[in-house]
Structures are given as structure tokens and as C-alpha cells.
Amino acid sequence: MPFGSMSDLGPTLCTVTSPASTDSVPPQLSAGPRPAPGPAADEGLARRLRALACTAPLHDLDARKANLAGEYSVYGMAEVALAAIDLVTLNMDFDTGADHEQIVARLVPRIAAQAPRRPTAEHERVARWVLENLINVGSVDRGFRAVYGTFAPDGTYVRRDYDFKLIEEVPGPGGTVYLRTTDEAVNVLVGALDTDVTSAQIAAEVKLEVLINRGRLADAQLAAEQARYRTVQYSETLRRALEATRRNVRAVDWLGAVPDMIAEALDHVADRYRHENAILTNIRKARDETEEPEHKRRAAELVDIVKDCIRRHTQLQSRLLEAGPLFRAEQDRQAFATPATTSGIDLYGHLVAPVLPLPLEQAIRVTDAFFAGGTGLRTPVSVRAADLVDILLTPPVEREHLGAEMPEPDLIATPDDSRFSEEQLAAATELLDLPADAPRRLSGLLAEARRTGDPDLAYLVALLAVHAASPAVGTAYRQGEEKLLFAVDDGTELDDPEFGGADLIVGTALLDAAGMAADRTEAA
């Protein structure tokens, strides 16, 4: 995040240029006596101006939609943009940010509602346009710049650049790119969240509980979403602390601070887990008891959010458990290594740290010197004229788009050694397809099977019946089957020339597939 808090600057006269443009400065109030008494006098004004600057790209979207090829004035671009920022904020994950395509997909319904008669492709185009403009794809920095003026301590008027981003792209695993909202966007556009993580988390959950108890589910959902964002923030703090440990064990206080922090975090996880499970139970109750469909829907959404919170806690906990072994491994590697003679240069302390605060003009001299000394050598390319002719006349090598040819797989037909054929199975299944209210004796089924003239069919029927004596209830539940074959032994003995044992009662049980599906999603 390049520029965090909005409160660190003096008086500002602020104007935000449209994306990518950096140098258009409107005429300022010129000449005259100095209007502001001092930097401290209007810090509040400065803060508000900065907040205002962050909203400018959103207004700008509505102003510029007229320039798009096509009739786009029907769309409320600022509304779409705010929705996009909300979506990205809530979909940010522990490891990554929100997925670009997912955000577009979730934005489309809202855009479609604004102009239902327009084609879907256009809705998607609007979503992409808004998202790209929030990232500001056209500029090198992929950010925004506002120009404003301040009075220097000696009373001179200085124009300054304020750079900020709303949505930024971060690298994810496997070279993917994810979206994250910046602090500016969260602070100004999502809500004031710039508070201590732990206390805010507790506050959000207390609030959530109260709201649920009062049945104010709309507010509860808002609070729950904020709580989720805070959970992500908390994980972030810990993740970075662990990472720093990996860089240098001695740089981190492993005697006190870090173990305390890990213990605290584990407590936090345990605590939140309990808490959120309790909330979950409450909301489920609210969901099941309420009659109003709107309440039911909100409660169902809340269940999802809180479940997501629990998932994130579990994720955080597994990372916390890795911390101890990691420290010991690093301790072995770093601290017990034989102390070597110091080369005299601490690259970070002597070079990186002092260079970064320097003004660009000076810093560039140091980095240039490092570059010149640190890149090694390149052997210059020289070409003979004779080779040049050959090189220029050689046709370009055809790129192999399809890769190497696949060898034809050598397939061997496996002999069909099944005891029963598909037809027999079909016949047996048909025979056993009994109405739910009319179970039958195995003896009757066997007699019917024999009447078909296929001597093996009776065996198959008997086997299936015996198998049904222990029906696979769990599988049927998981797969959402609607009916299940079962067999019960009521003590009657089977009188049959080929088979012995009990004359089972074979029947079909109907299952409540819809109810099971609901149960499954809840348990998941």
C-alpha cells in the first residue's frame, strides 16, 4: 500500500485528474495573502480532501461513460464501482486476493438489473470496464494521482502529487493475478475500519450477537461481513510476522514477543471458533424458526459468512502450528552455523536501508553503481558478414504448436470375465424394481426369475437380495438417491432347490432426497 492513512498531511487544495493523467493542474486561488494560518490548523480539512480525492475516480466513471462507444448512460457506474470494491474486499483470502473473473461474474447481475434489456455481453463489458478503471490499467503505476497544494513552512505554495490506488493486483500462486482493495478504498469506500484488529474483532462479534438476538438480520449481516474482513486482517499480521522470522532468527524476539504472539493467536483462534460456532447455532435457529422469506434468506447468507470465518480460522491455526518447527529449523540453520569473518558489508543495513529514503536523484547514483558492479559481464555479439547473409536468408523455424507426437497407445482388450451379463443385470434390476408399498418374498422373486428361462438370473436376484440385507444407507445419503432396496429376515425359512437360508422380504424404501440435500449442504 503506497499511502496509508489519510491524516498525515497539511492543508490541501485537491483535484483529482482522470486516470493516467498526471499533469493537468487547474488554476488555483492565486496571489493574495496566505489563506491558511498553518499546517496544523486544518488537518481535518486535509483529511476530508484526501477522502474526497479517493472518491473522485468513481465520479469520474460516470462522467466518462458518455465517451464510450455505445449508449451507456443508463448504467450507474459509481454504483457498480462501489459494488466491485465491496465484492473484492469480502472475497480477499488468506493467501490471495479476489479472483478477477469471479468479481466480474458477481457484478453482472447488478448491472443486468440496471438495464435488463441490453445483451449480456454488454453487461460484462461494463463490469470489465469499471474494474479496469478502478485498477487504472492504462497507467504504468496502475494507480491514481491527485495534485494538490500546500504551504511550506516558509510560506511558499508547493504543488504536490498524492498517489493512491483503489484496487490493486497482486501475484497469486502459479502466476495468477488476484485483486485486493487498498486501505484507501476500504477506509473511504467500505467504511471506517482503521482500528485495532483484536478489539475491533471482539466488538464486531458482540455486535453481531446482539443484532441476531434482536432479529435485525440486515444489520447482522453487515457486522458479520466486517468481522470476516477483520479475521483476514488478523491472519495477515501473523503471516508477516512469521515470514520475518524466516529471514533472520536473531532479528525477532523469540524469547518473548513471538511466542506470546503465537499463543495469543492460538487463543484467539480457539476463542473465535467457539464464538462463531455459537453464533452459527443461533443463526440456524433464527433461520429455521422465522416465517418471513426475507429473514430466512438473510439468515442463510449469514450462515455462509460465519462458516467462511470458521474456515479462515482453521487455516490460520494450521499456519500457527507450523511456526515452532520453522523456528527450530531456522535456529539450526542460522544460529549454530560456524561464525564466519564478517565481510564488512551488510547489504540491507549499509545499502538498501539508507538508499530508500534518499531523493530519487541521489538514490539513482547508488543503484546505478550497484547495477554496474553487480551484473557481471556480457560478451558482445559480433556477426560476420558471411554469416549475416545466411542468418537473414534462413526461414524462421516453424514453431511446434502441438508438441511432440503422441505414440499410439497399445491397447489390449481385457477378456470379459463377468459372471453376469449387462442384460441379466438389467432384467434382475427390473425384477427388483418393486413398488414402495408392496414388498415381496425372495421365494416369489426367484420363481419369477426362473420363469424367464435364464438359469443364472435366479442367482443374480438371490445375490442382490442378500446384498440388500445390508443396504448402503450412507452412500445413498451422500449421493442423494431417491429410493433404496432393502431386505429383511422375518424368520421364515427359504424352501428352494438351489438356495438355503432365510426367505427374505425384499422391498423398496423411499428416501427424502430434498431433505437430505439440505442436510448435506448444512453439514458441509
Partner 1 sequence: MSEHVEWSEAEASPPSAPAAVTPADAADAARLVAFGLQPKLQPARDQEYTELLRRYRDDPAFARLADAVATGLGLVVLEVSPRAGMAVTAAEDSVFAVRLGDYARRTAADSGDRFLHGLAHLAVAALAFPRPEDLADDTYIGRVTVNGVDAFVRQACRRLEERAEKLGENTDPATDAPGLEAAWRIWARRSATGATKDARRPAASTTGIVAKALAFLTDSGFLQRTGDDGGGTYRTTARYQLQVRDMAGSAAMAELLELGVVPVTDGTASLLPAEDTEDLELVADAGLPFHS
The conformation of residue 31, written as its DSSP 8-state character, comes to S
Assigned C-alpha cell, 185: 478504498
C-beta separation of 151 from 70 below 8 A = no
Q: What is the H or E stretch that residue 48 is in?
A: helix 43-64
Residue 119 CA to residue 107 CA, distance in Å, equals 15
* Smallest separation (angstroms) from partner 1 to the CB of 372: 7
493: three-class secondary structure by DSSP: strand
Residue 50 CA to residue 371 CA, distance in Å, equals 37
Q: Which is nearer to partner 1, 163 or 304 (CB)?
A: 163
Residue 479 CA to residue 476 CA, distance in Å, equals 5
Which sign does the torsion angle of CA 302, 307, 308, 314 carry?
positive
Taking residue 394's Cβ as centre, other Cβ atoms within 10 Å add up to 8
Q: Which is nearer to partner 1, 347 or 391 (CB)?
A: 347
* Smallest separation (angstroms) from partner 1 to the CB of 423: 51
* Smallest separation (angstroms) from partner 1 to the CB of 164: 8
Q: Determine the longest span between alpha carbons in the chain, in angstroms.
A: 118
Q: Which is nearer to partner 1, 273 or 370 (CB)?
A: 370
* Smallest separation (angstroms) from partner 1 to the CB of 249: 10
Q: Which is nearer to partner 1, 50 or 123 (CB)?
A: 50
Q: Which is nearer to partner 1, 8 or 264 (CB)?
A: 8
Q: Which is nearer to partner 1, 375 or 394 (CB)?
A: 375
C-beta separation of 232 from 98 below 8 A = no
Which sign does the torsion angle of CA 201, 202, 207, 208 carry?
positive
In sequence order, the 6+-apart residues with CB closer than 8 A to the CB of 422 are none
The conformation of residue 138, written as its DSSP 8-state character, comes to T
Q: Which is nearer to partner 1, 163 or 493 (CB)?
A: 163
HSE at residue 19, side-chain half, CA atoms within 13 A, is: 25
* Smallest separation (angstroms) from partner 1 to the CB of 42: 14
Q: Rounded to 5 degrees, what angle do the CA atoms 386, 391, 392 make?
A: 100
SS3 letters across 168-187: EEEECHHHCEEEEECHHHHH
* Smallest separation (angstroms) from partner 1 to the CB of 50: 10
* Smallest separation (angstroms) from partner 1 to the CB of 218: 29
Which amino acid appears at position 67 of this protein? N
Assigned C-alpha cell, 476: 445413498
* Smallest separation (angstroms) from partner 1 to the CB of 161: 6
* Smallest separation (angstroms) from partner 1 to the CB of 264: 14
Q: Which is nearer to partner 1, 358 or 514 (CB)?
A: 358
Q: Which is nearer to partner 1, 72 or 144 (CB)?
A: 144
C-beta separation of 171 from 190 below 8 A = no
* Smallest separation (angstroms) from partner 1 to the CB of 148: 8
Quote the strand ranges of 59-198, DSSP E: 98-99, 144-151, 157-164, 167-171, 177-181
Q: Which is nearer to partner 1, 99 or 503 (CB)?
A: 99
Q: What order do you get walking across the sheet with 167-171 strand by strand?
A: 98-99, 177-181, 167-171
C-beta separation of 146 from 14 below 8 A = yes
Q: Which is nearer to partner 1, 156 or 418 (CB)?
A: 156
* Smallest separation (angstroms) from partner 1 to the CB of 357: 6
Assigned C-alpha cell, 19: 486516470
Q: What is the H or E stretch that residue 336 is in?
A: none
Q: Which is nearer to partner 1, 274 or 311 (CB)?
A: 311
Q: Render 236-300 in DSSP notation, one character per residue.
A: HHHHHHHHHHHH-GGGS-TTTHHHHHHHHHHHHHHHHHHHHHHHHHHHHHHHHH---HHHHHHHH
Assigned C-alpha cell, 397: 523455424
* Smallest separation (angstroms) from partner 1 to the CB of 419: 50
Residue 320 CA to residue 399 CA, distance in Å, equals 48
Q: Which is nearer to partner 1, 380 or 403 (CB)?
A: 380
* Smallest separation (angstroms) from partner 1 to the CB of 32: 21
Assigned C-alpha cell, 339: 561464525
